[in-house]
Amino acid sequence: FKEQLPPYFLLLQCDSKENFLFHRRSDVLMMTPWFAPIVWEGTYNSEILNEQFRRRNVTVGLTVFAIKKYTVFLNKFLETAETYFMVGHRVNYYIFTDRPEEVPKVPLKEGRNVVVLQVQNYPRWQEISMRRMELINSFSQQRFINEVSYLVCVDVDMRFNDQVGVEILSNLFGTLHPHFYAAERQSFTYERRPASQAYVPRDEGDFYYAGGFFGGTVMEVYKLTKKCHEAMMVDKAKGIEAIWQDESYLNKYFVYYKPTKILSPEYLWDDDLGRPEILKKIRFLALPKNHAAIRNK
């Protein structure tokens, strides 16, 4: 009886390349030690995943902030999102802005909506970036929880450049920062001052995550943004601000509440870093923005 069954590796070899068992890569880390998948092109089957999420009729909320001059980014952001973001699924774009009249009218496909949420402006750019946590948190409770299953929270100074679909969705997900995905823990730019709530000791932390792309279920994003905002407020009262603002508090959170899925830097790339061989797709790309007309950091 034993001899009649082919060994497991033979079963694999007999399968066609289309079989899901072949969706694997040996050149990148595909799973964390806490069994969270790391999403790289070539590691998943979007047909299967699309079917699963379509069956649940999932709606995805995409939150983006365009305060002051950053409204100039909205047109390209929305246009490219219509081409590449969650194609075939229901999507609500939540655009937080102090200039609702500057939100462009971009033609939308069926099942997709733009919701403009008017918010105040803050004079310091650090505050603009950090207050996103507070705002996402309060709108999660008031509104998002009734309208969407998942939230995807991103920077606006970006363009979609290839498919970003349901393969990213999970209870809680973060994205590997493009500067540090191949770096050692010692070089991660976590907040290193023990006085800060964002402090991460030298011997802790798994990855360095990007501030510009995270998400999860509305409940998980609610919890994340609540903790991060509260940590910021504790620091603020002591006159401390973490080295990379919201990104530092996000990284601290992920040390202790580990993401259930991690996105590879395909999902947040910067062409200043070139285009290494391991990147089979560049899905979401930073736009150059360093001219003083837009930004005086």
Known active-site residue 247: yes
Q: Among residues 244 and 269, whose Cβ is nearest to ligand 2GW?
A: 244
* Least spacing, CB of residue 186 vs ligand 2GW, in Å: 21
By CB under 6 A, is residue 65 in contact with ligand 2GW?
yes
Q: Among residues 24 and 236, whose Cβ is nearest to ligand 2GW?
A: 236
Helical axes 246-256 vs 218-237, angle rounded to 10°:
120
Q: Among residues 44 and 213, whose Cβ is nearest to ligand 2GW?
A: 213
Q: Among residues 87 and 98, whose Cβ is nearest to ligand 2GW?
A: 98
Q: How far apart are CA 95 and CA 86, in angstroms?
A: 17
Q: Given the rule CB under 6 A, which of 76-84, 182-190, 205-213, 229-237 is the region that contacts ligand 2GW? A: 205-213
Q: How big is the CA angle at 238 (ends 232 and 242), to the nearest 5 degrees? A: 45
| 140 touches, from Mn ion, ligand 2GW, none (C-beta below 5 to 8 Å by class) | none
User: CB neighbours of 279 closer than 8 A, spacing ≥ 6?
Assistant: 265, 266, 269
**Rg, Å, the chain Cα set:** 20
Q: How far apart are CA 84 and CA 255, in angstroms?
A: 31
Q: Given the rule CB under 6 A, which of 52-60, 112-120, 151-159, 188-196 is the region that contacts ligand 2GW? A: 151-159
Touching Mn ion, residues 154-183 (CB under 5 A) = 155, 157
* Least spacing, CB of residue 12 vs ligand 2GW, in Å: 40
Q: Which of 41, 191, 247, 266 is catalytic?
A: 247
Phi, psi of 48 (to 5 degrees): -65, -45
Longest Cα pair distance anywhere in the chain, in angstroms?
76
Q: What is the DSSP string of 38-56?
A: EE-TTSS-HHHHHHHHHHT
Q: How far apart are CA 229 and CA 244, in angstroms?
A: 14
| 244 touches, from ligand 2GW, Mn ion, none (C-beta below 5 to 8 Å by class) | ligand 2GW
By CB under 5 A, is residue 246 in contact with Mn ion?
no
Half-sphere exposure of 269 (CA within 13 A, CB side): 23
Q: Which two tokens stand for residue 96?
A: 């937080």
By CB under 6 A, is residue 211 in contact with ligand 2GW?
yes
Q: Which two tokens stand for residue 267?
A: 């999902």
By CB under 6 A, is residue 297 in contact with ligand 2GW?
yes
| 128 touches, from Mn ion, ligand 2GW, none (C-beta below 5 to 8 Å by class) | ligand 2GW
Q: Which two tokens stand for residue 2?
A: 């034993």
39, 119, 128, 198: which one binds ligand 2GW (CB under 6 A): 128
| 216 touches, from Mn ion, ligand 2GW, none (C-beta below 5 to 8 Å by class) | none
Total residues in contact with Mn ion, by rule CB under 5 A: 2
By CB under 5 A, is residue 247 in contact with Mn ion?
no
By CB under 6 A, is residue 56 in contact with ligand 2GW?
no
Q: For the sheet with 90-97, list strands across it.
A: 38-39, 261-263, 172-175, 213-217, 150-154, 59-66, 90-97, 112-118
Please list the active-site residues: 247
Which residues contact Mn ion (rule: CB under 5 A)? 155, 157
Which residues contact ligand 2GW (rule: CB under 6 A)? 65-70, 125, 128-129, 155-157, 210-212, 244-247, 295, 297
